[in-house]
Amino acid sequence: MMNEPHDAPSGSASGIPAAPLVPASLDWRKLADQRLARLVELEHDHAVMRDRLALLQVDYRQMLVANEEQLQRIVELDRERLKMERRLAELARECADVRAVFVNSRSWRLTRPLRVISRWWLADRHSVGGLVRMMLRVPLLRRGARFVVRRVPGLHGRLRTRLYPQAGKVGRGSLH
C-alpha cells in the first residue's frame, strides 16, 4: 500500500486546483526554485501595488486639502455676494427715494414743457421742420404761429408746403 500510487483529490477546499499527479522521478529542487521564483514575483508585485496605493493615498489627501480650500473660498465669495446684494438693495432704495423727491420737485414740474419739446425734437431731429411741427402741437405756440402768419403775407403757403409737403397738395394742414 505504501508504494502504490494514489489519486490526488481533484480540488481542495481553498479553491486552488490540486497539483497533477506527481511522477516518481520529480525534481524537487527545480520545483522549489520555480515556486520560489513565483513567490519572489508575487512579493515584488505586492510591493509595487503597496507603493502605488501609498501614492494614491497621498494624492487623495492633497485633493481633499485642495477641495477644502476651494469650499472655503466658495463660502467667502458667497458671503461677499450677500453683502453686495444687500448694498445693491440699499442703493436701489436710496435711488428710488431721490427720484421720488426729484420728480415731485417744483423745478421738475415747471420744466415739463421743455422736456416734452425736447422729446419731440429727438423724435424727429432730422429736420428743423420736425421741430416746428412738434412745436405747433402746443396750443399756445400754435396760436402765436397763427398770429404771425396772418401778419406776414405769403408766409402761410410757404410754411405749409415746407412743413406738410403732402398736405400742401391736398389742402390739409392749414394753420388757421
* Number of domains the chain is built from: 2
For the ranges 4-18, 43-57, 145-159, the maximum mean pLDDT occurs at 43-57
Query: Which of 64, 85, 110 finishes a domain?
Result: 110
Last residue of a domain, one of 84, 110, 136: 110
Provide the b/e sequence for 69-104 (b: ≥16 CB within 10 Å): eeeeeeeeeeeeeeeeeeeeeeeeeeeeeeeeeeee
Judged by DSSP in three states, 52 sits in helix
CB 174 within 8 A of CB 160: yes
Question: 3-state DSSP call for residue 10?
Answer: coil
For the cut 60, the answer to whether the pLDDT of residue 148 exceeds it is yes
Q: Please give the residue range of the domain that contains residue 116.
A: 111-170
Q: Report d(CA 147, CA 141) in Å as an integer.
A: 10
- Within-domain flag for 20: no
For the whole model, what pTM was predicted? 0.38
